[in-house]
Every structure is written in C-alpha cells, then in structure tokens.
Chain A
C-alpha cells in the first residue's frame, strides 16, 4: 500500500501553472543515529523523487538524510495536455513506490 498524499487538480486550463504538493510516508532514517546496541541504525531514506507528465520528466529531486521524515516536496508544472502524472520515490535500496494522478486540461 503506497502511502502518499498528492494534490493534482483534476482540471486545469491549458498553460496554467499548477502547484503540486506531495507527502510520502517514510521514516527517512539518517544512518547517523546509534541504535540500542550502540551500532548505527542502517540508513533508510528516499534518495530520488521523479515526476513525469505523460511520460516526460518535468521535475525530479535528489534527497539526503537532512530531509524530514515523511518527506514533503512541492513544485510547479505547466498544465500542457490531459493525461497522467506519475510520481515515484526510490529508496537507497532501490525499491520504488509509485503513485499516479490524472489531469484534465481544457
């Protein structure tokens, strides 16, 4: 169960700049914290965030341990055509979680 909150307007005017907010459920364990046994808790972070719009990358980000648990990322994109936005979050083990949203452009 991917747990992410995304706001993409269902409808937008062609050429309109839309603001997209994303919130992903993730501990963002830094790898710098010692655990019970005195050893560092292994790093477990989202390293890469990508947003494609009808297949083309419109925005991406590289994240480091300094980003908050349950990472929040907001950015803008131009509403060009009706279609699908795909959001993906990839962690440092290579696992990717994906969520999609559709938009109708008039």
Chain B
C-alpha cells in the first residue's frame, strides 16, 4: 500500500502537461464498442438518460414537486456536479455519493418512496444528472472532512482480499494493460458511470462494477451505498482527477 500511495502521489504531483499514463477504460475497448459509446444514437445508455430527462420533469410524491421545481434546467444547474461527487453531506455528517444525494432528494424533499440502489429509476436519474458533466474534467470535492474516507478507500484498493488474495491495485496498477483471460485489464478509472455494460445488458453503477471485480476475487461484496463503497469511489475519483467524464459510457 505504501508503494502504491507513493506511486500515486508521484503521478498526482506531475504537472498536468507532463505525460499522463492514465487511460480511461474506453481506450482498452475494441472499435465496435467504442463506436457504440460515441454515437449517441447508438449508445443504449442514452435510453436511460432520456428516461432521466422525463423523470426530472415529472412531479412526484407528497410534495408534487419535480426535480426541476427546485433545480430548474439540469444542463445548467447540474453541470459539473457529477465531476465533483462524492461530496460531504451536512445532514448526516458523512460522505455521500451522487446516487445517495438523489435518493435523499427524492425521499426527503419530494416526499416520494426512496428509489432502490441499482433500480431503474435511480439509474435513469443518476445517469441524467451525470450526463450533464460529460466531457468535463473530474474535479473532486475539496472538503477536508472527506480526507479520512478517501484514505480508507486508498487502503481498501491496495488491501489483499478474498480467497484469491488479490488487491485491486495488483490488477489495475501492476497489471493494467495486460489481460485476464481474453479481457484487457483497464486502469479502473470511474469515468463513465453509470454506464451500459454489455455483460449486464443494462445500465449499472460503479458500485455494481466493484461487485463484479470482488466476485472475481472471491471476496465479500461491498454493498452499494455503504461507507466502504463510497470510500472506494472517493479514492478512485481522486485518482482520476482531471480525466474527462463520459457518462453514459459503454463497456464490454
């Protein structure tokens, strides 16, 4: 872990103009899958964004307010938000991810049933909000109260776990660019979420993606929305500072 953090600090310390060896998962895909992502009319993730747009404007719950009632025009008010998340939540005095914030607004501010993690409604809303930051550079929240969770995420990332005794870093730092079976090992940058994974035949969150890697490692799942999941997301977003968001990305 020390080595990893040291390495990562070195990367972070390099001036922006210096060669950046970081690559989005996009760069590891075949041309067909890349084309599917870049053409909005062929990208199945855009179906969820489209649905999110409709949900954004629909009044729901006890308040009969829509997201738009409070937040107005998403392309303006939500621009850059996903590039900053996870952020610190004053109400719970804990880090909160974008999906968590949307659940909170839906339940507490709209008076509607809280949407399920990985459910269709939440994915549509989250991808719609995150899509407003597409092509923007990831710029993590600078709140000092996030530091301990971020460090916890960094530790998780380089801790060996599961029956196979692997760490995330072993694959995504030490062996990135190599292969696992036929699949190229990417650098695990969270640039595209929620994204459409062909394997899922649906949209899914970064935290669902964690579950896939953890199951590959024969490790205990980290449940979506948990402190560990948000810590890992905080770390990965920080590690990807300056990289462009792609939501909704497509991955194999």
Chain A partners chain B: yes
Q: Is A23 in contact with chain B by the CB < 8 A criterion? A: yes
Report A80 CB to chain B, min CB distance, Å: 22
The chain B residue with its CB closest to the CB of A25 is B47
A25-B44 Cα distance, complex, nearest whole Å: 8
Q: Are the CB atoms of B201 and A21 closer together than 8 Å?
A: no
Contact flags (1/0) for A12-26 with B, using CB distance below 8 Å? Answer: 000000000101110
Q: Is A84 in contact with chain B by the CB < 8 A criterion? A: no
Q: Are the CB atoms of B51 and A5 closer together than 8 Å?
A: no
Sorting the interface of chain B by its residue count into under 10, 10 to 19, 20 to 34 or 35 or more gives 10 to 19
Q: Are the CB atoms of B47 and A70 closer together than 8 Å?
A: yes
Q: In the assembled complex, which residues on chain B have CB atoms less than 8 Å from the CB atom of A5? A: 40-41, 46-47, 50
Q: Are the CB atoms of B201 and A3 closer together than 8 Å?
A: no
A7-B42 Cα distance, complex, nearest whole Å: 10
Q: In the assembled complex, which residues on chain B have CB atoms less than 8 Å from the CB atom of A21? A: 41-42
Instruction: List 8 A-B pairs, minimum CB-CB distance, nearest first.
Output: A69-B201, A70-B44, A25-B47, A21-B41, A7-B41, A3-B51, A3-B47, A1-B54
What are 18 A-to-B residue pairs whose CB atoms are below 8 Å?
A1-B51, A1-B54, A3-B47, A3-B50, A3-B51, A4-B47, A5-B40, A5-B41, A5-B46, A5-B50, A7-B41, A21-B42, A23-B43, A23-B47, A69-B44, A69-B202, A70-B44, A72-B42
Seen from chain A, the residues whose Cβ lies within 8 Å of a Cβ on chain B are: 1, 3-5, 7, 21, 23-25, 27, 68-70, 72
